[in-house]
Structure 1
Amino acid sequence: MAATLPRYAVFGNPIAHSKSPQIHRQFALQEKVRIEYERILAEPGAFAEAAERFFAEGGLGANVTVPFKTDAYDWVSEHSERAEAAGAVNTIIPLGGGRFRGDNTDGVGLVSDITEAQETALKNRRILILGAGGAVRGVVPVLLQQQPADITIANRTETKARELAERFGVRSAPLNGLPAGRFDIIINGTSGGLGGEIPAVAPEVFGICELAYDMVYGAAAQAFLDYARRSGAKKTADGLGMLVGQAAFSYRLWRGFSPDIKPVIRYMKEAV
């Protein structure tokens, strides 16, 4: 009888587009092991049931994507400091005895991509984040650790931006009232990015922008990045490096092996 491979998964809805299986297979090749990594479509309101079934069947770790990061936070038994600060979980680690630890690797994935791959410092920079959903909530605590000059959160629904800003002790602003030429780094974390929508931000806001970064990747990021370039951003990048980076931190939490991120980003750029 063939040995069962170590089993991992990503939960989301939708999930068919997820590149996580390809990424984790590349990490396994580096470790010289074989793993199974699958996409699991969970229905709204049924995340807990799907997660319980997966781990009862021998799952050794899971990633969680939209829209279940807060469901995962509520489901796990304990939280890392990062997950606690974010109020969201994207990585689940079984502890044994029916207990699970939730972590959030989104922020470390984003920061490692901006500072290493994009060679852009975050310390003493003025950062604008567009959006106020779970993706943004997951990255603000780690961005704050980089000691930026300040962070401003702007969102179509201003009350959501204000609530999130108050949670983290940062600024908030209406999308249509952002000052021109103030921000060094502009990060798009709006859910509209998945549909190629551009946040309603005036071109002048990009006046001194050193890096415009979209947390989604590939074709979905193109409209925002093109707009940022036309508006004066010196450099642009999509979130592929963030995706690979957060996945690498998850893999290390599960298996104690630290993948080399750069060759996997190159591989995924060709695949995407």
Structure 2
Amino acid sequence: MKNRYAVFGHPIKHSKSPLIHQAFAEQTLQTMSYEAQDVPADQFETAVKDFFNHGGKGLNCTIPLKELACLKADILSPRAQAAKAVNTLALQEDGMIFGDNTDGIGLVRDLTINHGILLDNARILILGAGGACRGIIRPLMDHHPQSLFIANRTASKAVTLAEEFSGLIAIKGGSFDQLSGRQFDLIINATAASLSNDLPPLPAGLLADNGNCYDLAYANEPTPFVQWGKINNAGKSLDGLGMLVEQAAEAFFIWRGVKPDTQPVITRLRNAHAMT
């Protein structure tokens, strides 16, 4: 009998996770199944219990379930504790459920390994102070940037989040209005603006020479933020497809103890994008 894995979310029908994990399983010769299940928040508790009671070994959880998954885990990794959100659940041999957040490590690997972007001593700006931002702060800080600024429409939310992570590096939060006159080596869009084909209010001159842009979102066409980066002469202006595959690879490793090669899968998805 195949070990069962799945991704829960709502909506979920456009998820690329089944394709990614199927490719990983074929590449690493793992016998397993992986499916997408549409699970609204009010059905999450029952769905998780049913899944693990019927042979399920591991789950990915996406919007709007990451905070609920954090509460469901019996054991949390340090990065999940910092994020206060979980995207990967793994059933342990003793029946306990381990929770992790692989989003941040997925982002860092895509930036540093796949694209050669240096984080050490970089001035980093994160747009947005929601759950997507929270999940990437600690892994970025582990690479010793010079500073990190969180900008959000509601400044108080950014300030509170920055204070929570203070002490390791220079990290501050504020409004988009406070960005004027500042420059950054890396700007990361962690808002949901790209999902509605929108762009956060960004002043001119924000990107340093040879600076880079990264949108956590991805689409068949360049997102408004990726386009903004190119217009503003970014060295690289990237979407989040690589992060999606890298975070999935980390989840796969947690479940199966094998690290898949992400490059063929990223290339496959890119090629599929180009054909749509």
For Structure 1 versus Structure 2, the TM-score category normalised by the shorter chain is over 0.9
Report the residue type matching 1:150 in the other structure.
S
1:226 corresponds in structure 2 to 227
Report matched runs for 1:1-272 at 5 Å: 4-169=1-166, 170-180=171-181, 182-208=183-209, 210-219=211-220, 222-272=223-273
Flag the 1:115–1:226 CA change in 2: closer, same or farther, 3 A. same
Q: What's the RMSD between the two structures over aligned residues? A: 1.5
Moved more, 64-73 or 91-100: 91-100
Q: Distance in 1 between matches of 2:63 and 2:181?
A: 32
Count of equivalent residues: 269
Find the aligned partners of 1:15 and 1:220 in 2 and give their Cα distance: 20
Offset of residue 201 of structure 1 = 1.2
Identity of aligned residues (%): 42
CA contact (8 A) 1:182 1:208 kept: no
Please report how far the alpha carbon of residue 192 of structure 1 lies from its aligned counterpart in structure 2 after TM superposition.
2.2
Say if 1:93 and 1:220 are closer, same or farther in 2 by CA, change over 3 A. Answer: farther
TM-score by length of 1: 0.94
Displacement, 1:220? Answer: 6.8
Matches of 1:16 and 1:236, distance apart in 2? 27
Q: Distance in 1 between matches of 2:95 and 2:69?
A: 15
Secondary structure at 1:265 match in 2: helix
Bigger mean CA deviation after superposition, 213-222 or 59-68:
213-222
Do the aligned partners of residues 203 and 229 (structure 1) sit closer, same or farther apart at CA in structure 2, a change above 3 Å counting?
farther
CA deviations on 1:5-40 (whole Å, 9 max, x unpaired) are 221111111111110011001101111234211111
* Cα separation, 1, equivalents of 2:179 and 2:42: 36
User: Which SS does the other structure have where 1:208 is aligned?
Assistant: strand
CA contact (8 A) 2:75 2:98 kept: yes
Runs of 4+ in structure 1 off by over 3 angstroms are: none
Unaligned runs of 5+ in 1: none
Distance 2:43 2:161 in 1: 26
CA contact (8 A) 1:128 1:152 kept: yes
